[in-house]
Amino acid sequence: MIELKFYVLTAIFFYIGILKKINLIILFFLALSISSLYLSYMDGNRGFGNNIWSYLMLMYLGTSFYFYYIKEMKKNTLIYLTSLVVVYYLCNQFFLFDNGYGARFGYSMATILSIFIFGFALYCKSSLSRMTSLLGNISYSLYLLHQVLGYLLINQFIDESVPAPYAQFITIVVMIFFAFIVNRYIEMPTNRFGHKYVK
């Protein structure tokens, strides 16, 4: 799992004291992403998505947003890093496989749109409603559950002849419920234990 590799790398970077040099980490994974994508293309192996380096680059870009939020990164540095990552995703689509449904363009544009939405939300810093706060709190649990349990549910509903739009809506509601349960009784207790252990 890419997430597990990210957690292990982050722990290593933190232990050796270079995690706060997030700009160098992002540039490092950007260089690996470009090299890997280009070499794969030259070898005749286009991919639907990207390599592990580009995913790690995105994850550490998210970390840089956090450093900016806690005032440990300058705004200009964040803009510079974000611009480089966006340019990468603007160009990478020319090296990706197109399956006839706009896969490479859609993949790149969805990633760029996500980056801008995240940045806009960080810039606004407006107060959140109880509903948006709840969704934010359970987002990690929802993320962990959606691919396995979500696909299982939606396929089961469709197999039972439930129309796709209704199947999607019901699945979303059920996933939010399960994410709330996991967040309340597993994620939050383990987070509290982890903070006590670190202290």
Residue 115, domain extent: 1-126
Within 10 A of 50 (CB to CB), how many other CB atoms are there? 22
Residue-level pLDDT, tens digit, the chain, 199 residues: 777 888 899 899 988 988 889 999 999 999 998 888 887 777 766 554 467 888 899 999 999 998 988 888 898 999 999 999 999 988 887 777 665 444 567 778 878 888 888 888 777 766 566 777 777 788 888 888 887 888 888 888 888 888 878 888 898 899 999 999 998 898 888 888 776 766 6
> Do 35 and 107 belong to one domain?
yes
Burial of residue 83, with CB atoms counted within 10 A of its CB: 0-12 exposed, 13-18 middle, 19 or more buried:
exposed
> Do 121 and 152 belong to one domain?
no
Q: Does the predicted TM-score (pTM) go above 0.85? A: no
Q: What is the CA angle 114-135-153, rounded to 5?
A: 90
Q: Domain end: 71, 95, 126, which one?
A: 126
Q: What tokens were used for 47?
A: 């991919």
Signed CA dihedral, 180, 182, 186, 187: sign only: negative
Domain tally for the chain? 2
Phi/psi at 35 (5° precision): -65, -45
> Do 163 and 121 belong to one domain?
no
> Do 71 and 155 belong to one domain?
no
> Do 102 and 180 belong to one domain?
no
Residue from 187, 153, 148 nearest 172 by CA: 153
